[in-house]
Structures are given as C-alpha cells and as structure tokens.
C-alpha cells in the first residue's frame, strides 16, 4: 500500500528537514545544481530563502510530506493572471515511488483554487521522470533543444 503524501504549508519543522536533505543529498544536488558546490544550510535559512523567493516571484513554497516528515518541496510562481509555473524536487532515495505524482495532483488543485487556468514548467530533456508526471495529466508540450515546456489547462483537470 502506498503511503499517503500530503502537500503542506512550509514551517520551520519542515524547513529543518528540507535543509538537511539539500545539505546532504549528493545525488539530488547533482541534479539540481550540477555546477555548484554542495553547501550546508539550516532550516531557518531555507524558510527565509523561500519567503524572499515567494515575494520576488509571487509564488508559494510547500513541503511534500510523507509520514509527517518532509521529503521534498513543490512550489509555484505567478507567470500571469492565467498561468502558474510549477517546480518540485524530492530526496533521491524517494525517487520512483510516485511521491511527486501525488504531490503534483494536490498542487494542481491548489493553483486551480487560487484562480489559475493553466500550469506550465521548464523541464530538462534528460528529466524523463518529470515529463512522465506531466503526461499523466494530459499536458501538451512545446520544446527546444534542451527543454520541454508542458502546459495543462486546469479547466480540464479532474478534481
């Protein structure tokens, strides 16, 4: 039986757990920031960074929670009055377990309730797992040499 995944508002507790993942998960770091050095951050720094990012980008950050522990993050930014752009990551030892798919479904409902009509993203072509999540929700794709640009119309998204 699959464990229940919940998208929750970011708190210092979850910030501590997410900061620990970002400070220690070498495989995740290689995927997120291949050209930078792995550095240590604490939960307060993580939460403050998210708060600044939310203000600058007109977005919101959430924790992806499994068994009351943060295993990743999912967020959206305001592209325009109709479109939000989604992003997410989970710790590497949780890859392939359907966690992002469950969190993604919840995030679609959140942004739909906030009045957005569509969601989009920018996915590196080598990130096949992320592309598959979008395909499950009938995204249409544009692409260039390096990235896919999916879009999902939320009016057609089942609640």
Query: Domain residues for 114?
Result: 5-156
CATH code of 83's domain: 3.40.630.30
- pLDDT of 42 higher than 90: yes
Domain count, the chain: 1
What integer pLDDT is reported at residue 155 of this predicted model?
77
Higher pLDDT, residue 157 or 138: 138
Q: What is the mean pLDDT of the chain?
A: 93
Count of H helices and E strands in the chain?
Answer: 5, 8
Share of the chain above pLDDT 70, in %: 96
What's the average model confidence in pLDDT over 8-19?
97
What integer pLDDT is reported at residue 156 of this predicted model?
55
The model's pLDDT over 50-108, given as tens digits with 9 standing for 90+, comes to 999 999 999 999 999 999 999 999 999 999 999 999 999 999 999 999 999 999 999 99
What integer pLDDT is reported at residue 159 of this predicted model?
47
pTM equals 0.92
- Cβ burial 67-89 (10 Å sphere, 16+ → b, else e): eeebbbbbbbbbbeeebbbbbbb
């Amino acid at each position: 039986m699959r464990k229940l995944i919940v998208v929750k508002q970011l708190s210092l507790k979850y910030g501590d757990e997410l900061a620990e993942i970002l400070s220690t998960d070498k495989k995740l770091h290689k995927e997120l920031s291949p050209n930078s050095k792995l550095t240590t951050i604490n939960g307060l720094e993580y939460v403050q960074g998210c708060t600044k990012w939310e203000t600058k980008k007109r977005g919101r950050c959430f924790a992806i929670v499994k068994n009351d522990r943060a295993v990743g993050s999912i967020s959206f930014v305001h592209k325009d009055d109709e479109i939000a752009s989604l992003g997410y990551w989970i710790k590497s030892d949780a890859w392939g377990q359907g966690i992002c798919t469950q969190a993604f479904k919840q995030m679609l409902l959140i942004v739909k309730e906030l009045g957005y009509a569509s969601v989009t993203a920018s996915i590196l072509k080598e990130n096949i797992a992320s592309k598959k999540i979008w395909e499950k929700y009938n995204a249409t794709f544009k692409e260039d040499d390096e990235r896919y640009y999916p879009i999902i119309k939320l009016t057609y998204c089942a609640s």
